[in-house]
Structure 1
Amino acid sequence: MALWDVLVRILVGTMLVYLGVEKGGVFVVSTFVGVVLLLTAITGFCPLYKIAGISSKEETTAS
């Protein structure tokens, strides 16, 4: 995962967890999604990226 991808996941995940904890109710789903985003940012592995065959890392060209 690229650095920008990790930072976005941490930011959005933190906001979703906070929203779920503060509001409760229907927002419990946002807590789950936020935790998943935080875990994928920490581990550097996203199963959906693997399934789709995409990567956010820049490709380096050999010269």
Structure 2
Amino acid sequence: MAFWDSLIRVLIGSILVFFGVEKGGVFIIALIVGLILILTGITTFCPLYKIAGISSKGEEASA
């Protein structure tokens, strides 16, 4: 997972967690999704990317 991908996941996850905590009710789903996004952003591992064979890093330059 690329740095920009991790950064976006943590930012969007933080916003969703905020809404989940502040609003409550149906937004509890946003809280759960936000926590998952933050976790995958911090660990730089996304199981769905692995299953789909997707990589946001692009091609590595060979030395």
4+ residue segments displaced more than 6 Å: none
TM-score under structure 1 normalisation?
A: 0.94
- Which runs of no fewer than 5 residues in structure 2 stay unpaired? none
- Which runs of no fewer than 5 residues in structure 1 stay unpaired? none
- Could you tell me the percent identity over the aligned residues? 62
Q: Letter of the 2:10 partner, please give it.
A: I
Aligned residue pairs, count: 63
Cα distance in 2 for residues equivalent to 1:25 and 1:32 = 12
For residue 60 of structure 1, report the CA deviation from its aligned partner.
Answer: 1.8
Cα distance in 1 for residues equivalent to 2:18 and 2:61 = 41
What is the Cα-based RMSD across aligned positions, in Å? Answer: 1.0
